[in-house]
Each structure stands twice: as structure tokens, then as C-alpha cells.
Amino acid sequence: MTALVEIRKLSKTYVRGKQKVEVLHGVDLDIAGGDFLALMGPSGSGKTTLLNLIGGLDTPSAGSISVGGQRIDQLGSGALARWRASHVGFVFQFYNLLPMLSAQKNVELPLLLTRLSAAQRRRNASIALQLVGLQDRATHKPNELSGGQQQRVAIARAFVSDPALLVCDEPTGDLDRQSAEEVLGLLQRLNREHGKTIVMVTHDPKAAEYATHTLHLDKGELVEAAALAH
Amino acid sequence: MKYLHLVLAALFRRKTRTAFTLLSVLAAFLLFGMLDAVRTAFDAGTNAAGVDRMIVSSRFSIIQPLPYSLLNQIGTVPGVKAVAYANWFGGTYQDPKNFFPNFAISPNYLDLYPEIVLPPAERKAFDATRTGAVVGATLARRFGWKIGDKIPLIGSIFPKRDGGSTWTFDLVGIFKVRNPQLKGLEQQMLFHWKYFDEANAYYRNQVGWYIVKVADPAQSDRIAQAIDRLSQNSDHETRTETEQAFQLAFAKQIGDIGLIVGGIMAAVFFTLLLLTGNTMAQAVRERIPELAVLKTLGFSNRAVLLLVLAESMLLVVLGGVLGLGLAALLMPAVNAAAGGQIVLPPVGVATWTLGIVLMLVIGLVVGALPALRGMRLNIVDALAGR
């Protein structure tokens, strides 16, 4: 299968005060299109940093990242923002919905950056909410929804603009087991039925079982790559 | 427009705080609207002064009289079309607090002030009645006067020759002023100088000032110099100036209203800047993770900057328009409550224009720093709460 994400000799160093902290050291990684990859590892191992770099939220100190053949490490901040808007969806541990907007309006947010009309935006957001089973909660604000429901709204927001890649940072970290399984099942459906490539950071081995591959990071390096047959 | 719901949602995220901030902006612009009306009222006479009229007064003081004999001499100066004269009387009606402008005027005074509109029959009656007086419609309303009434004024400056201080006038006409900028003229009372000259205890053949109508306003400087030369080195040297300059100098005897109003408004708006700036800074500080989410979704730095700026500008414009609107509504009520003693003009186009510009500038200034902060925020740090 062709690699959607190609990472070569990727390093990231943060400067915190007078200290330089090298979080990633020369990571090489290919993620195939249609893959559901779980990134695991202890705290501070560089999982979220790698995820942020793949999602174009941060830029590497050295090395290269190509997504769909495009070198995103070479893009300026404006071009990177445009790239994120059309190529990648994000799911966070704490949902990060805008509290003053309804579920429907939260899902419509990425579509504001497209040329779609207001009616088309409303329709696409409704379909996305339907796919996550929350069409009856469209007018509810985040504080009127449970954690699991909020995360499903966040997932709808992540895929509403039909990006090829979804990056998920501990998407079940704040959920009870049942809600976590619903969310993971939803991600699995998006991967299997809609062909979305998913990169998910998790501490939870049970969550990783939903992925097609699991990679382990330790001290900024990939230490193990295990292909799990499902 | 597609981002308007985002701006509104952010603005009303904390309803109580936004309501209080809106109230403070409203109060500031209410004050601005009313004070600017006061300034406009003071400027109105100056702005609407006749361009073809000049005032000749004593070089030393406005209260120093000039000889009546100057009348014919001024009339001979080339370029002078007509000359009238007047004298300040300063009488009060029934009670010293019932003060209003009242003047003794020459027979042709009203001919030089076409903005004062008196029906022809009333003008005829005025010309024919030695003790006749005409008053502005506002003044007549204030005291409930009607034609045929006898108006007794207490001449506190000018007692009568017979020893009394009560001057009785026959009200023969009520004039109106069409130009809204000159509505203040409707608070005046005018009567004959001849009656004043004959009956007052102090003056004889003296006038307070002359009004000169010139054929060509472009020649005003030359004419003024020629008139002032008539009394050079005498005990009654004159100062001739345009009516606008004269009224400006007269208004400045009360104080530089423009400067006073400007000073008060500068203090008010400076306080508003600090208050609203603090509110906006706090509002953006609270929303840093949300702005980071917008950036994550693909909103550019510029888009985030514009969203925050739009929010602060909307806040100030909303409060400002409400404040100026309230001032416009209150102005007639203030005039009515003052019983005609104060005639403030309505909130005009100039005030609205200046107000809107101020709102936009204040909105821009108070939003600039929070907007820059939002624009520059690092997504990874902001999402991590750093």
C-alpha cells in the first residue's frame, strides 16, 4: 500500500528557558493510506509531539514530513493553516469544542473555511452528526452533552470536511469504558468504511486493539513496530 | 458575514460582563452626544453668522458705548451698504432668575437680520409703536406671552429717568427663526432704541454697537480698517470685525466650550479605553484554548486577528450607537424640562459621524493588543495550557 505519511530523520527540540529538550530523535516512519495506527509509549516519550508534527500543528527541528506527497515541513504558517483545513481532522482528549456554539455550529466550523454555502454547510454538518448518532442533539451546547457525546461531536467536526487523515490525541482518555468503546468503534468505522487514515495516541492497550498497527515510542525513538492482525 | 455568529457568540459568552461593558460604553457616548450638542449650540451662532455683516464695538470693551454720531460717518465708508445699531439692556422678567437676551434696536435692525422672520403686519405694528417689543417664539412659549400683552421688565442696569426701574413694553410681534442652528435667537426680546434712549437715566445718544452690512464680504478687511480710522485717537476708538469673529470672542468670554467639552470627553474616552481594553484582554485570555482550536482547524493568524478585532469593534459600536441614540431621544426631553432656557440642537449628522469614527477607533485600539495576542499564539503551547 502507498504511504500517505512519510517521515524521515525527524527530530524535534524544544527550548524551555535555558534548557534544550530533544523530544524526537531521527524518527523514520511510513503510514500507509487507510491505516489505523496506534502510537503508544510512556509519558514524555514524544507521542503527542509526533502527532502534532504529522497534523501540521508544529514544525520539526530537522528531518522531513510528507503527507500525500506534500512536504508540510516546508510550508509557512499560512499555507500550513490552509493545508490543515483541507487535509487533516483533529480529535483531542478534552474534546475542545467551542462552549458557546451548538453541536451543529461546532461541526460547521471547518466548513466556514470552504466555499460551501450556508445551506450546504448546514446539510453537511447534519449528515456528520447523523453518522455519529447525534442528529437529535444538534442544537445542544457542549455543556448539555455527556463526555462521550461531546467526543462524538468532535469526531464529526474532524471528518465533516472529508480529510484523508485524522489525528487523535488520547480520544478516550477522559471517557468511561462504555463511551470509550463507542468512540473507538466510531473511529474504526471511519477507518474501515470511509477509508480514513487514522493516527491515534493512546495509553490504553484496549484502545490500541482497535487499530490495525501499533507503534511504541520511548525517549523520542520508535522502539517497536508490531503489526496486529485483526 | 459568515463569521458573524462566531463574533456574537464570543461577545456574549459572558453575558453579565458584556452587559456592564456595554453600559459603560453607552454612558460614555450618551455623555458625548449631549456635550457635543452643547458645543454645537455654542458654535451655532458663530457658524451661521452672516458673512456680509460686521460688528463695530468699542476697542476697549463691549460694555463701553459708542456715540450715535458715528452712524452717519460709518454710512459714508465705501462698501458699506447699511448700518444698524443696538444696545444691550439686560432686563429681567418678574424675577432676576428669569433672564433672557433683550436689546434696544434701531428701526432698520430687522432688515439686516433676514433670518428673523416677523409677519409683515406685526412688523408694521412694531414700527408704529414707540413702546412696542417683539419676542422670539421660544421666549413667548416660555412665559406664555401673546400679542397684546404688556411685558414689564426690571431694568437692573438701566433705571428709568423718572426714577423707576420697571420698563413696560407692548408685545406687538412674535418672530421665528427657520435655521435650526439659530434657534437660540428665538429667546430674544427686541424693542426700540429710541424709547430706550429717551427714557433711560444714564445714556443719551449712545449705542452699544453698530451692525454694518457690506456689499462685498471680500472687502471686509479694507472696510473694517476704514471704519476704525474714523475714530482713531479719539476717546471712543472702535474695533470692527466680522460677525463671526465677534461672536467667537463673545462666546469665549464664557469659556472655550470646545476645549472644555474636548477635555471632558478625552478623560471619559481614556477611561473607556482602559475599561474596555481590560475587558477585551480578559475575554481573550479566557479563550486562548478556543482560539488555538480555531487555528488547529485551519483558521489563519490573520483570521483570528480579525475575529478578535471585529468583536471589540462590535462591542464599542453597539454600546456607542445605543448611547448616541439615547442622547438623541433625551435631547427634546432636556429642552422641554429646561422650559426654553436651554435650546440644545438635536444630535446631528456631524455628531453621529464623529461618534461612529470614535467608536471604530476605540474598538480598534482596545482590540489591537488582544487580537495580536490571539494572532501570535502558538497552537501547541495554547492547547497544552502553557
Interval B98-140: pLDDT, tens: 889 999 999 999 999 999 999 999 999 999 999 999 999 989 9
Cα separation, A104 vs B154, in Å, equals: 77
Strand runs labelled E in B106-255: 116-117, 132-136, 150-154, 166-177, 189-192, 206-207, 209-214, 238-242
As a whole number, mean pLDDT of residues B235-257 equals: 79
The mean predicted confidence, pLDDT, of chain A is 91
Q: Supply angle C-alpha A71, A77, A83, rounded to 5.
A: 55
Whether the CB of A223 is below 8 Å from some CB of chain B: the reply is no
Query: Looking at residue B63, what is its pLDDT?
Result: 81
- A:B CB pairs within 8 Å: 62
The three cell numbers locating residue A194: 470511509
As a whole number, mean pLDDT of residues B305-329 equals: 94
Spatial neighbors of B235 by CB under 8 A, at least 6 apart, are none
**How does strand B166-177 pair with strand A221-227?**
unpaired
As a whole number, mean pLDDT of residues A178-194 equals: 93
Q: How remote is the C-alpha of B178 from its chain's centroid? A: 17
A164-173, B170-179, B202-211, B253-262: least confidently modelled range: B253-262
Query: Looking at residue B211, what is its pLDDT?
Result: 95
CA-derived radius of gyration, chain B: 29
On the question of pLDDT at A130 being above 80, the answer is yes
pLDDT tens digits for range B255-285: 677 788 888 888 988 988 898 898 889 888 9
B2 and A118 within 8 Å at the Cβ level: the answer is yes
Q: Supply angle C-alpha B218, B219, B223, rounded to 5.
A: 150
Cα separation, A39 vs A169, in Å, equals: 9
A112 and B10 within 8 Å at the Cβ level: the answer is no
Instruction: Locate the chain B residue with the closest alpha carbon to A101.
Output: B9
Which of B12, B293, B298 is facing A98, going by the closest CB pair? Answer: B293
B297 and A98 within 8 Å at the Cβ level: the answer is no
As a whole number, mean pLDDT of residues B158-166 equals: 89
Residue B237: in which H helix or E strand, if any?
none
A113 and B10 within 8 Å at the Cβ level: the answer is no
As a whole number, mean pLDDT of residues B14-25 equals: 91
Whether the CB of A21 is below 8 Å from some CB of chain B: the reply is no
For residue B197, what are the CA distances in angstroms to A46, B103, B161?
102, 12, 10
Cα separation, B226 vs A74, in Å, equals: 82
Residue A137: which pLDDT band, with cuts at 50, 70 and 90? very high
As a whole number, mean pLDDT of residues A47-58 equals: 94
Cα separation, B310 vs B316, in Å, equals: 10
For residue B310, what are the CA distances in angstroms to B10, B37, B283?
10, 29, 13
A77 and B301 within 8 Å at the Cβ level: the answer is yes
Buried b (16+ CB within 10 A) or exposed e, A42-60: eeebbbbbbbbbbbbbbbb
On the question of pLDDT at A217 being above 60, the answer is yes
pLDDT tens digits for range B376-386: 999 988 888 77
On the question of pLDDT at A230 being above 50, the answer is no
Query: Looking at residue A19, what is its pLDDT?
Result: 87
Q: Measured between beta carbons, which residues in chain A are less than 8 angstroms from residue B299?
A: 81, 85, 113
Q: Is B62 helix (H, G, I), strand (E, B) or coil?
A: coil
On the question of pLDDT at B179 being above 60, the answer is yes
Query: Looking at residue A70, what is its pLDDT?
Result: 92
Are B113 and B176 in contact by the 8 Å Cβ rule? The answer is no
For residue A220, what are the CA distances in angstroms to A46, A173, A205, A215, B300?
5, 21, 20, 12, 30
Q: Is B135 helix (H, G, I), strand (E, B) or coil?
A: strand
**How does strand B209-214 pair with strand A221-227?**
unpaired
pLDDT tens digits for range B47-60: 556 678 999 999 98
On the question of pLDDT at B76 being above 70, the answer is yes
pLDDT tens digits for range B322-339: 999 999 998 888 877 765
Whether the CB of B294 is below 8 Å from some CB of chain A: the reply is yes
CATH code, residues A3-227: 3.40.50.300
Query: Looking at residue A228, what is its pLDDT?
Result: 42
B10 and A110 within 8 Å at the Cβ level: the answer is no
**Strand A62-67's sheet: what is its strand order?**
A19-32, A3-16, A62-67, A70-71
Query: Looking at residue A34, what is its pLDDT?
Result: 93
Query: Looking at residue B251, what is its pLDDT?
Result: 66
In this structure, which amino acid lies at residue B289? P
Residue B194: which pLDDT band, with cuts at 50, 70 and 90? very high
Chain A segment 114-143 residues within 8 A of B by beta carbon are 118
pLDDT tens digits for range A12-21: 998 878 888 8
Answer with the residue of higher pLDDT: A38 or B342.
A38
As a whole number, mean pLDDT of residues B26-45 equals: 82
On the question of pLDDT at A138 being above 70, the answer is yes
Residue A200 half-sphere exposure toward CB, CA atoms < 13 A: 32
Cα separation, A189 vs B119, in Å, equals: 91
The mean predicted confidence, pLDDT, of chain B is 89
Of B173, B186, B207, B42, the C-alpha closest to B101 is B186
